[in-house]
Amino acid sequence: MTSSCHTQNSSVPCVLSIAGTDPTGGAGTAADLKSITAAGGYGMAVVTTLVAQNTHGVRDVHVPPTEFLATQLTAVSDDVTLDAVKTGMLGTADIIATVAAWLDQNPPSILVVDPVMIATSGDRLLQPEAEQAMVAFCRRATVVTPNIDELAVLTGQPRATTEDEALDQAGRWSAETGVAVVVKTGHLDGKRVTNTWVGPDGTRIAVPSTRVDTTSTHGTGCSLSSALATRLGRGDTPEAALTWATGWLHEAILHGAALQVGSGHGPVDHAHRSRRLQAAGAANPWLAHDAVPPVLEAPQDLDAPRDPDAQRGRTLTTETPADVVQTVPSVAPAVTPVGPWTAALWEAGAETTAAIGASDFVQALVDGSLSEADFTFYLAQDALYLNRYARALAALAARSASTESQQFWSQASTGAITEEADLHRTWMATRPESARTTASPVTSAYTDFLLATTLGEDRAVGVAAVLPCFWLYAQVGGGIPDVPADHPYAAWLDTYRDPAFVTAVQGALEQVELELAGASPSVRAAAARAYLIACRHELEFFEQATRLEPEAAAPPQRSAEAAPARQSAGESSGDSADRATADLAVAAR
């Protein structure tokens, strides 16, 4: 009698990894458990082989008796209902036969097979005489995740040298076996790495990502297949599951080197996403109460050395991931300050400005690898933001002390609404669902802050609060030397590099310089605080698309009775896997 390993209706799928070990934690069961956890599952592991390895390669492999493997497997299945199973290193024909026999008795609704054969280090992880047993084993899967070399063995074809060749090989094999294939181009050259779900009916779902120039790729295949199994086990469609797994792994690879684990091919940072989200959810105030002195008599007071606590208060909160804080160099302004007060503001906000430039979102926007879905979300929020920003600028126009200031803020307000209309006319018009979006918590917090400040605080405070939107966008736009014509977001980037926009930024800087020069010392301090808070709102605004969770999938369907019912008398596990594949193929369409 099996029972669920979690509460009823929980959307936490129970996922079993059947794989070898890596004592340095980058590959095998260790990587699988970290990936399953990161993907939102409850991870379990049955060990096939004990591998003495590190980031330089494999030293030795110990294979425990297969009787013990069988005992481990039944210990799990006698007690726990599984939502997905992932297999990794199986090592020998005997192990493959033992796992296959267990699967016959306990067919899972999702079986992801990573046909591990040879590690990137060149070490063999599957005995040569077991290759054909692995090829046959793959036919049981819902989906297999071979690298380019493993795909060649699987299909009996020469190693593919292009993505198209690999897709053709996978397509033919999938049509013949009824098993889906994820074609991974990590082992090919090219600026992009694409994972493509190839279904038996010819379905192709391509999920591209930018190739990261790093040696921290140990265990990427294990991690991708475990995350995929978890998202499928959770009820995601193949497209949603592969998109999530690819995006999450990309972030993990990007930040793997910062872990500094080992001196060879290091592991990926499986937990980077969860640490980033944890930092984003921290309730710490963004500024310490003494980050800005209570009065600013002169511009240098803003930059004067303060006690260490106050200095800490100006960092991006102590919970910000260490590698974000440590790798931000101070940046030269793309639009130079127009006087001592704006120069002091730039210095005071330098850390946040640098963090914006270094953020994964802005980097992906600038290099063009940002997914269309994330850009569309960002743009829809930007349109909502601009509508309210225009009102804040109009409030400043209404409160202006001179005709020149009134003209400047009125024109800026009109410009913001025109920009919003342009966004709707172009990108969003072809994506009607984005026009139905409402303001996110981040967008609302920012615009509420701007409206409250421009309407309710001293005018100088309001003027300082609206400055980052001008200045920091010019910074992002001006940070790119050239935008190639085929860049997917060229139109957006060009807007913020446009000389007319740079002139508007200079106008805003002049207004801030004027207001701060004429304000009282305590109002100047409040203005500096407002500027720094608005800089932080800008960072949050950019980053918010990287915190989007796809819509929750249906909780996995399972019950104590469900497991045996999956294999009725006489039904082969192959049939069961075919049905699961067919279900997935339907979901993919």
Ligand X SMILES: Cc1ncc(COP(=O)(O)OP(=O)(O)O)c(N)n1
Catalytic residues: 184, 217, 219-222
181, 253, 493, 585: which one binds ligand ADP (CB under 6 A): 253
CB within 8 A of 251, min separation 6: which ones? 269, 272, 273, 276, 360
Site for ligand X in 61-100 (CB under 6 A): 88-89
What is the nearest approach in angstroms of ligand X to the Cβ of residue 271? 17
219, 313, 333, 337: which one binds ligand X (CB under 6 A): 219
CB within 8 A of 184, min separation 6: which ones? 145, 146, 147, 148, 193, 195, 221, 224
What is the nearest approach in angstroms of ligand ADP to the Cβ of residue 130? 17
**Partner from ligand X, ligand ADP, none contacting 28, C-beta within 5 to 8 A by type:** ligand X
What is the nearest approach in angstroms of ligand ADP to the Cβ of residue 268? 8
When asked if residue 28 is in the footprint of ligand X (CB under 6 A), the reply is yes
427 CA to centre of own chain = 23
At 98, is the secondary structure helix, strand, or coil? Answer: helix
36, 44, 51, 539: which one binds ligand X (CB under 6 A): 51
For the chain, the 3-state helix, strand and coil shares in percent, each to the nearest 5, are 55, 10, 35
147, 174, 381, 400: which one binds ligand ADP (CB under 6 A): 147
- Measured between alpha carbons, how far is 213 from 565 in angstroms, rounded to an integer? 48
Task: Of 368, 518, 343, 544, give the one whose Cα is nearest residue 440.
Answer: 544
Q: Applying CB under 6 A, what is the total number of residues that bind ligand ADP?
A: 19
Residues in the chain: 589
186, 267, 321, 333: which one binds ligand ADP (CB under 6 A): 186
Tell me the per-residue interface mask from 221 to 250 with ligand X, x by CB under 6 A, - otherwise: xx----------------------------
Q: Which is nearer to ligand ADP, 103 or 222 (CB)?
A: 222
- Measured between alpha carbons, how far is 126 from 58 in angstroms, rounded to an integer? 12
Tokens matching residue 160: 């593919």
When asked if residue 112 is in the footprint of ligand X (CB under 6 A), the reply is no
| Torsion angle of C-alpha atoms 518, 523, 529, 530, degrees rounded to 10 | -80
The HSE-up count of residue 181 (CA atoms within 13 Å, CB side) is 32
What is the nearest approach in angstroms of ligand ADP to the Cβ of residue 189? 11
Contact 240, 289 (CB under 8 A): no
**Partner from ligand X, ligand ADP, none contacting 51, C-beta within 5 to 8 A by type:** ligand X
At 352, is the secondary structure helix, strand, or coil? Answer: helix
When asked if residue 412 is in the footprint of ligand X (CB under 6 A), the reply is no
**Partner from ligand X, ligand ADP, none contacting 38, C-beta within 5 to 8 A by type:** none
Chain residues in the site for ligand ADP (CB under 6 A):
120, 147, 184, 186-187, 193, 195, 209, 211-212, 214, 217, 220-221, 224, 246, 249-250, 253
Chain residues in the site for ligand X (CB under 6 A):
19-22, 27-28, 51, 53, 88-89, 116, 119-120, 125, 217-222
